[in-house]
Amino acid sequence: MIVIVCYAAITITGLFVTDTLPINGINVRSLFTKMISVPPLDSKSRPYRIWLTEDDEPVRERLASLLRNWDGGTLIGICATLGDAITGIKANEIDLLITDLKLPDGNGIEAIRTLRLQQPSAEAMVISVLADETTVLNAIEAGASGYLYKDADSVDLIDAVNELMAGRSPISPRIARILVRRLGERRQDNEPPEARPANLTPREMDILWGIAKGFTYGELAGQLNISRQTVPVHVRNIYRKLEASNRSEAVYEAIRLGLIRL
């Protein structure tokens, strides 16, 4: 597989498949069903083939260094422009495209569209400072299965790639909040949430608030004065109690059940 990086980390896995109203002309049900229908990739035979597109040289080199030092992937191409990205997509077999959106000669969404046409089985992940509703939805509709906000901790990149290639959709908390708020505004289903107590402990509620606000495990550990190794244990308990498989699902369920308000 080839991964193309453009910068952009929470996973949304079918949070809103019950919503059918169009947003900016995009059918929400089909959009999110597509996001959760990605079959896991068999990575045992070879590393993922990754292509990275990022015009900011320091960011590009930092991302490239992370990918080069990861034995789960092979960085087969790096570029700074949309034109070079499209050329690379057409000339190489790619498993993953990581791309920025705001490029000198155009929008990285066009590279995602080209990838979807040329290599339908390949994946695309956005890494960008652009976080407005229209851009996010257009990128996902074009075929991006993940969207990371550019201020995300760089150490999360490999985790995000692994999650995406496992068939999930890593989305940064800031991006997830945009989707949750926008879709919440458009919901017409007035049925109250099902009565299912979550029974979260006070500590788990603290952790839940933290992940909803996008804090890293290290930041949570520091703020709550607990060890970093303890945080994932609490997170797994939260997932189990909310019947969630990732951070964004947990946040969505918590909002739906009235446990938190963003």
Domain enclosing residue 232, as ranges: 202-256
Please tell me the distance from the alpha carbon of residue 211 to that of residue 206, in angstroms, as a whole number. 9
**Per-residue pLDDT for 42 more than 60?**
no
First-to-last C-alpha distance (Å) of the chain = 37
**Per-residue pLDDT for 104 more than 90?**
yes
262 lies in some domain: no
CATH label of the domain that carries residue 248: 1.10.10.10
10 lies in some domain: yes
Which amino acid is located at 69 in the chain?
N
Q: Quick one: 158 and 89 in the same domain?
A: yes
Q: Quick one: 178 and 247 in the same domain?
A: no
Interval 238-252: pLDDT, tens? 888 888 766 767 887
Last residue of a domain, one of 131, 155, 185: 185
Q: Quick one: 229 and 163 in the same domain?
A: no
**Per-residue pLDDT for 262 more than 90?**
no
How would residue 172 be classed by pLDDT, with cut points 50, 70 and 90? confident
251 lies in some domain: yes
**Per-residue pLDDT for 82 more than 50?**
yes
193 lies in some domain: no
Q: Quick one: 72 and 176 in the same domain?
A: yes
Decide: helix, strand or coil at residue 146: strand
Please tell me the distance from the alpha carbon of residue 148 to that of residue 16, in angstroms, as a whole number. 19
DSSP letter (8 states) at residue 46: S
pLDDT at 32: 43
Least confident range from 75-79, 145-149, 213-217: namely 213-217
CA 193 to chain centroid, in Å, comes to 26
pTM over 0.75: no
12 lies in some domain: yes
240 lies in some domain: yes
Q: Quick one: 47 and 164 in the same domain?
A: yes
CA–CA–CA angle 62, 66, 71 (5° rounding): 160
How would residue 236 be classed by pLDDT, with cut points 50, 70 and 90? confident
If one counts the domains in the chain, the total is 2
CATH label of the domain that carries residue 92: 3.40.50.2300
194 lies in some domain: no
pLDDT at 3: 44
Identify each DSSP E strand in the chain by its residue range.
Answer: 5-7, 10-11, 22-23, 26-27, 48-53, 73-79, 96-99, 102-103, 106-107, 123-128, 146-149, 170-171
Interval 183-211: pLDDT, tens? 666 554 544 445 455 689 999 999 998 88
Beta-strand pair 5-7/123-128 = parallel
CB proximity list for 168: less than 8 A, separation 6 or greater? 11, 13, 36, 38, 245, 246
Q: Which residue has the higher pLDDT, 259 or 217?
A: 259
Q: Quick one: 153 and 250 in the same domain?
A: no
- What's the mean per-residue pLDDT of the chain? 77
pLDDT at 167: 67
